Structure 1
Amino acid sequence: MTNEGFKYSILASGSSGNSFYLETPKKKLLIDAGLSAKKITHLMAEIGCSPKELDAILVTHEHKDHIHGVGVLARKYDLDIYANEKTWQTMDEHNMLGKIATEQKHIFERGKVLTFGDIDIESFGVSHDAADPQFYRFMKDDKSFVMLTDTGYVSDRMAGLIENADGYLIESNHDIEILRSGIYPWSLKQRILSDKGHLSNDDGSETMIRTIGSRTKKIYLGHLSKENNIKELAHMTMENKLSRADFGVGKDFKVYDTSPDTATPLTNI
C-alpha cells in the first residue's frame, strides 16, 4: 500500500489576505479565509476545487487578512469553524464573522492535536498581537507540512515543534531596511519589528536554518508585505543564507514564492 500523504495549495499569502487549502481522500479543509468569499471561490477554481466540497475552516487568529471571508463561506456552505477559545471570544465580541450557528463553532485548543478524518493537525502558539494566535502542523502517512507566519520571533520550543517537516510555509514579511526607510508611521514600524510583529526575510531564513531537516523538500515564502518587501529580495535572502549554512538549496529542496492573488499549484506532499 502506498502512502497517499495529502495535497495542498497556498491560495493566497500576503498582507492583503491569506488562505491555505488542504485535501486528503477523506477531508477538504481551508486554513484561514482572509479574502472575500468570491475571491476564495475564484482561487479554489484555479486549482480545480470548489468551496462546496469543503468540510471545515480552521482559523489561526482574528486579524482581517485571515478571517475576512470566513463568515460568508461558513453560512453559504454550512461549514464547521475551528478556533481556540480566546480567538472565538474576540471574534464573537466584535461580531467579526457575523451570525454563526452554535453547532458550527468548534474549539481547537492551542498545543493540541485534532484528527480530521485521516489527517492529524497539531496547533502551536506564536508571538503576534492577536488574542491567542496559533498555527498548524499537518501530519499524515509520515508526511508533514508546517504553516508559520504572523509571529515576531520563533522560540526554541516552537522551532522544536516544527523541525524536519517535508514542507514549510514560512513568513518572509519584510526587509528591515526597506521597512525602516519606508512611509509607514514609526508606531507601525515598531509594531512590525517587535516580538509580536512579523518575521523579516532574515528572521525567516534563520528559522529555516534552525528547523530544516533531511525530509524537507519545499519551502514557500509567505506573508510578504507589498510596501516593505520585494519578492526577488526575499527569495534571494532565503537561498543565500541557506547556502551559506551549507544546505543543498535547489538540490535537496527548493524555495518557492507565493502570491497574494494567485494560488500555488495543487501539490502532493
Structure 2
Amino acid sequence: MRHQKLLDAVTDGVERVDDLARELGVSPSTVRRGLTDLEQAGRVVRTHGGAVPAPVGGELSWVQKGRQNAPAKRRIAERAAEMIEDDHMVLLDAGSTTAFIAERLAGRSGPTVLTTGTGPMSALLDAEGIELILVGGRLRRRRGAMVGEYVRGVLERVSADIAFLGADGLVPGRGINCPSPELAAVKELQTRAARRTVVVADSSKIGADAEPHWALIPGPYTLITDDGLDAAARRAIEDDPHCTPLIVPAPEAPRTPGRTG
C-alpha cells in the first residue's frame, strides 16, 4: 500500500483503522503499519483506534487533542466531576479533558463554571442549571483558549473553590509543560485564583516535556490520571511531595474478533 494514499485518506477525514482499511481495500494490520510509518515521519498523530493529520507547526488543536486517548480522558473527567459540589465555583481551563468535564456537568444544577476555553463553553451553552461565566480575551484558536491581559483582569478578581487544569505535559516537581508563555501564564493565574488545584492529564502526559514553556504550580495539587503510567512516571509522582495522585483505571483495549485469551 502506498503511504500517500493512506495519508490522503486521513487528511480527508477518514480516521478509524477499520474505515481506512475499507476505503483503501487493504487489511487493518496493513493500515496500522502504514500509520506507524507516517507517525514516525511526523505526518499523522495516532489516536485511540486511528489517526489524525499532524498539525501545521507542531501544535495540535484542542479538537485533535480530544481524539487522543479519549477513553482515558473521559474516565478522568468522570472522576473530576465527582469532586464538584453543587455550590462550587469552578475554573475550567481550555483543553480537551476539561471539555469532557464540562460535558459531565451539563446535566447538573447549581455549580458556577468560569472558563477560559471554547471547549468547556460549547459543552455548557445549553446547560440551564449551570451559571456559565466566559473569560474574555484574545482567542488562541488552535487551542480554543483565551489569553492576554483581559484574562488576567478577570482571574485576579475571582476566588474559586477548585480549578481544573489541562496539560500538554506534566513533570512532577517542575510544572505543566506548555507551547506558549501566554498559555502558561493563564494556568498560573488559575492556580492562584482557586483554593484547590487539580491537574487532569492522561498517563501519556506524565513526564512529557516537548514544549518550551512551563506553568509553575505554587503549592499542593491533585493529579487525576489513568493507570497506564510507566514505572518512571509512577516514581516521579510518588517523589513529588506536593502531588496527591488520583489514579483511575485505564480503559481496556478493544479485543480483536476471533482471538481468545
Same fold (TM over 0.5): no
Which structure has greater helix proportion?
Answer: 2
TM-score normalised by the chain length of structure 2: 0.31
Larger relative contact order, structure 1 or 2 (CA cutoff 8 Å, min sep 6)? 1
Q: Kindly name which structure, 1 or 2, has the bigger radius of gyration based on alpha carbons.
A: 2
